[in-house]
A = this chain, B = another copy of it.
């Protein structure tokens, strides 16, 4: 019945918010275990120890639940990353803070990231199109690209296409997110240092 923007303008009660979080948490665990395709509402409800109907009550449907899951995690990630980036001084340090805080977030939320990835890659609208399409990535990409452009204007960075570079950074981060799931013994700390160096070199000025 209820949905994201709560059209009536009414706030969600505390108890309702708790239920929603509980259901999303259960969905995260189920998805990270059996994958998106096998994560049925029945399984999610069973895992949460509630009845199937509860999910239907708190979310408009399966797609809504999945969408909320993604949004919740994106917001959480932004809450971790943004302050780190802002706190850093200079474009180079900001970009490095962006990379490092993103990977730190992944490290601290492995299951969530696994579930998020599954949903983003699989959730589709009725017409078959991916629900989280490239247009959504822009929102994530843009601030990073802006950061890179800034560094170039300020003369801290060398010559490169800031959009391409932004995509490379995102692919490195998302790739690490996938590895964390696939490779149980993946050394994310070491990989973070490696990745920071990679893009540190890539953004330097040519000569000097």
Q: Which residues of A contact B (CB under 8 A)?
A: 33-38, 121-122, 124, 128, 130, 133-134, 137, 160-161, 164-165, 167-168, 170-172, 174-176, 178-179, 182-183, 190-191, 194-195, 197-198, 201-202, 204
Specify how many copies of this chain sit in the oligomer. 4
Residue of chain B at shortest CB distance from A124: B35
A175 to B195, CA, bound (A): 15
Interface of A is mostly: helix
The answer to whether B124 and A194 touch across the interface, beta carbons within 8 angstroms, is no
Query: Considering the chains assembled together, what is the distance between the CA atoms of A77 and B204 in angstroms?
Result: 34
Option from B160, B175, B178 in Cβ contact (under 8 Å) with A194: B160
**Is there an interface contact between A161 and B190, defined as CB atoms closer than 8 Å?**
yes
* Contact with A182, one of B38, B130, B194 (Cβ below 8 angstroms): B130
Residues of B within 8 A of A190 (CB): 161, 164
15 example contacts (A-B, Cβ-Cβ < 8 A) are as follows: A33-B128, A35-B130, A36-B37, A37-B37, A37-B122, A130-B182, A134-B182, A134-B183, A137-B182, A164-B194, A167-B191, A168-B194, A168-B195, A171-B174, A198-B202
